[in-house]
Amino acid sequence: ETGVTQSPTHLIKTRGQQVTLRCSSQSGHNTVSWYQQALGQGPQFIFQYYREEENGRGNFPPRFSGLQFPNYSSELNVNALELDDSALYLCASSWQGASYEQYFGPGTRLTVT
């Protein structure tokens, strides 16, 4: 096990609602990245947080936002949910050093109806 945890495991929301997903990073890691993985696709980078600041963002609209807390845990917030937001949401923690190896949590499976 990587030591990265995510909650909840599964979630069902309706279109237009808002959702908050949570991630606790592996001990000693200071960076959290969030990914969206649709069925049959590779994970798509949403954004990364390093020392409580957003530090890189993929091609996702502003309704995807996040936070990182002093203990390096993180939240992903998605407003105005759309059907296409249905996916597995993964967080990965890492130490922002040369190797940059990331370790993933088990993911939150979000279904938007």
Partner 1 sequence: RKEVEQDPGPFNVPEGATVAFNCTYSNSASQSFFWYRQDCRKEPKLLMSVYSSGNEDGRFTAQLNRASQYISLLIRDSKLSDSATYLCVVKPGGYQKVTFGTGTKLQVIP
| Residues near partner 1, by CB under 8 A | 2, 33, 35, 40-45, 48, 50, 55-58, 90, 96, 99-107
Choose between 15 and 40: whose C-beta lies nearer to partner 1: 40
Least Å from the CB of residue 45 to partner 1: 4
Residue pair 76/88 in contact (Cβ under 8 Å)? The answer is no
Choose between 16 and 30: whose C-beta lies nearer to partner 1: 30
C-alpha to C-alpha distance for 83 and 103, rounded to whole angstroms: 28
Computed on alpha carbons and rounded to an integer, the radius of gyration of the chain in Å comes to 13
Least Å from the CB of residue 51 to partner 1: 11
Least Å from the CB of residue 23 to partner 1: 12
Choose between 4 and 78: whose C-beta lies nearer to partner 1: 4
Buried/exposed code over 70-86 (b: 16+ C-beta within 10 A; e: otherwise): eebbbbbebeebeeebb
Residue pair 105/23 in contact (Cβ under 8 Å)? The answer is yes
